[in-house]
C-alpha cells in the first residue's frame, strides 16, 4: 500500500475561484469583505448619507468615511464596534430604500445580522458606547421596517438602544468628546420619536423620557457637523459632508412629539386639553424656519430639507389626527349625537393639508422615508 501523498499548499487559482464563487470564504469571518464588497459598501453608505442622514443625523460623515478608508487599507486593525456599526448602517439602508436594493446585491438585513452574530456582539460583556447604541438603533429600525411594529427582536434591540443611551447620558456624557456627546443627544431624540410613534399606534413601550422631565439641556446644538470637530482635530482634506445642519429639523420633530406626550399626561382626558394641544402643534409648525416649512409651490433645492419638511408636516398631521380621534371618542362617551363642529372643521383641515402634500411632494421623498410616513398617512386616513 502506497503512503498517502502529502498535500502541498493550496493552488492560488483555486483559492481565488473559491472566493468568487463562495463569497470570500477564506477572508476572516469578521472582515467587511464577508459582508459586501467595498464597491457595494461605498454605494450603500453614499445612499445612507444622501437619503437617510437628513432624518437621522447620528453619524459624522467625514469622520466615518475616514475610518472606512482606514479599514480598507488596514482591515486587520479594524475594531469590532466599527464593523458592527457599518453592518447596522447596511441593514437600515437596505430596509429603508427598497427601490434601491438592486444596487446592493446579496446584501440583506438577515446577512447583516448574521455578520453581527459572528462578531459576538450579543454577550453581556459588551461595552455600552455611543457607537454600539447607534448600531442597536439601526438594527432595531431595520427589523421594524422588515417585520412590522410587533417584531420581538426589533423591540429588544430598540429597547437596548434606549437604555444604553439613557445610561450614557446619566453616567458618561460629561466626560465624552464633544462630538460623541452631540451625536448621543441626537440619538436620544430619535429614539424618543420612535417611542411616541409606537404609543400612538397603541404599543406602549418603555419610555425614554417622561412628560414633565426637564430635558432642555439634552437638545443637540443646531450647528453643521464641521463644527463638531475638536480644536485638535483638523477638518478632513476630502470634506464631503453637508454644509447644512439637519439638527433644527430633528429638534422640531422632538418638540412636536413633546406636545403629543404632554397631551397624554393627564389623569382624566378632556376636550379642552386635547384642543389646547392641537393648537400647540400649529404653533410648532408656524415657528419652523423657512427651509422646513411646507409651501406648496416651493422646492428648497436641498433634497435633505425637502425630506425633513415632509416628515415634519406628516408627523404634525398625524398627531392632530390622533388627538381628534380621542376628542371624537370623548364625544361618543358623553352621548353626543352630533360630532362637535370643532372636530369636523379640524378634520377637514387635516385631510386638505394631507392631500396637498400627496399631490405636490416629489416621489423621491417618499422613497427616502416612506417606511415611516406611509403608515402615518394610512393612520390619518383611517375612518
DSSP 180-200: HHHHHHHHHHHHHHHHHHHHH
291-321 per-position pLDDT tens digit: 999 886 655 568 889 999 999 999 999 999 9
pLDDT recorded at residue 206: 65
Distance between CA atoms of 115 and 34, rounded to whole angstroms? 8
Give the C-alpha distances (Å, rounded to integers) separating 73 from 67, 185, 270: 10, 32, 62
Nearest to 207 by CA among 248, 165, 171: 165
Look up cell 448574521; give the residue: 114
Residue 105 neighbours by CB distance under 10 Å: 9
Q: Measure CA of the first residue to CA of the last residue in the chain; give whole Å.
A: 84
Residue in the block written with cell 445610561? 167
Which residues of the chain are modeled with pLDDT < 70? 1-30, 205-207, 210-213, 230-242, 296-301, 338, 383
Q: Number of H helices and number of E strands within the chain?
A: 13, 0
pTM of the model: 0.88
Write the CB contacts of 136 (distance below 8 Å, at least 6 apart in sequence): 88, 157, 158, 160, 161, 164
Say how many C-beta atoms besides its own lie within 10 A of residue 223's C-beta. Answer: 12
What residues contact 23, with CB distance under 8 A and at least 6 apart? 34, 106
Q: What pLDDT does residue 9 have?
A: 46
Residue among 87, 81, 83 nearest 44 (CA): 87
Q: What is the pLDDT of residue 215?
A: 79
Nearest to 64, CA basis, from 225, 189, 304: 225
**Chain mean position to CA 33:** 25
Residue 23: what pLDDT? 42
Q: Which of 372, 256, 253 is nearest to 322 (CA)?
A: 256
For residue 82, give Cα distances in angstroms to 130, 142, 157.
11, 18, 18
> Tell me: the pLDDT tens digits for 133-171?
999 999 999 999 999 888 999 999 999 999 999 999 999
Alpha-carbon span 293 to 295, nearest angstrom: 6
Res 25: pLDDT? 43
Q: What contacts 331, CB < 8 A, 6 or more positions away? A: 271, 339, 340, 343
pLDDT at 28: 52
Phi, psi of 321 (to 5 degrees): -65, -40
- Neighbour-count burial of 75, counting CB atoms closer than 10 A to its CB (0-12 exposed, 13-18 middle, 19+ buried): middle
Q: For residue 176, what pLDDT is reported?
A: 95
Q: What is the pLDDT of residue 191?
A: 95
Amino acid at each position: 500500500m502506497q503512503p498517502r501523498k502529502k498535500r502541498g499548499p493550496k493552488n492560488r487559482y483555486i483559492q481565488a475561484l473559491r472566493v468568487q464563487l463562495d463569497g470570500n470564504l477564506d477572508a476572516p469571518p469578521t472582515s467587511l469583505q464577508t459582508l459586501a464588497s467595498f464597491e457595494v459598501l461605498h454605494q450603500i453608505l453614499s445612499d445612507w448619507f444622501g437619503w437617510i442622514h437628513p432624518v437621522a443625523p447620528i453619524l459624522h460623515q467625514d469622520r466615518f468615511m475616514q475610518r472606512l478608508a482606514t479599514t480598507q487599507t488596514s482591515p486587520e486593525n479594524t475594531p469590532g464596534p466599527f464593523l458592527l456599526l457599518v453592518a447596522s448602517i447596511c441593514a437600515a439602508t437596505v430596509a429603508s430604500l427598497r427601490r434601491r436594493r438592486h444596487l446592493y446585491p446579496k446584501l440583506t438585513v438577515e446577512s447583516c445580522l448574521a455578520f453581527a452574530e459572528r462578531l459576538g456582539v450579543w454577550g453581556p460583556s459588551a461595552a455600552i458606547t455611543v457607537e454600539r447604541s447607534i448600531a442597536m438603533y439601526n438594527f432595531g429600525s431595520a427589523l421594524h421596517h422588515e417585520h412590522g411594529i410587533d417584531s420581538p427582536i426589533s423591540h429588544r434591540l430598540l429597547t437596548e438602544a434606549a437604555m444604553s443611551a439613557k445610561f450614557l447620558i446619566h453616567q458618561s456624557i460629561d466626560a465624552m468628546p464633544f462630538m460623541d456627546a452631540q451625536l448621543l443627544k441626537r440619538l436620544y431624540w430619535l429614539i424618543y420619536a420612535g417611542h411616541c410613534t409606537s404609543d400612538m399606534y397603541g404599543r406602549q413601550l418603555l419610555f425614554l423620557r417622561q412628560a414633565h422631565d426637564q430635558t432642555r439641556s439634552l437638545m443637540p446644538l443646531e450647528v453643521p457637523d464641521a463644527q463638531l470637530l475638536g480644536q485638535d482635530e483638523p477638518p478632513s482634506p476630502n470634506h464631503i459632508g453637508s454644509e447644512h445642519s439637519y439638527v433644527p429639523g430633528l429638534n422640531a420633530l422632538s418638540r412636536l412629539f413633546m406636545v403629543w406626550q404632554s397631551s397624554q399626561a393627564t389623569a382624566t382626558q378632556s376636550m379642552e386639553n386635547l384642543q389646547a394641544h392641537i393648537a400647540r402643534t400649529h404653533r410648532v409648525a408656524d415657528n419652523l424656519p423657512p427651509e422646513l416649512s411646507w409651501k406648496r409651490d416651493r422646492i428648497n433645492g436641498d433634497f435633505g430639507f425637502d425630506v425633513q419638511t415632509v416628515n415634519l408636516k406628516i408627523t404634525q398631521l398625524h398627531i392632530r389626527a390622533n388627538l381628534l380621534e380621542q376628542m371624537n371618542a370623548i364625544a361618543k362617551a358623553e352621548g353626543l349625537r352630533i360630532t362637535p363642529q370643532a372636530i369636523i372643521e379640524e378634520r377637514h383641515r387635516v385631510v386638505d393639508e394631507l392631500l396637498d402634500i400627496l399631490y405636490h411632494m416629489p416621489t423621491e421623498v417618499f422613497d427616502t422615508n416612506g417606511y415611516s410616513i406611509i403608515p402615518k398617512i394610512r393612520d390619518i386616513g383611517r375612518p
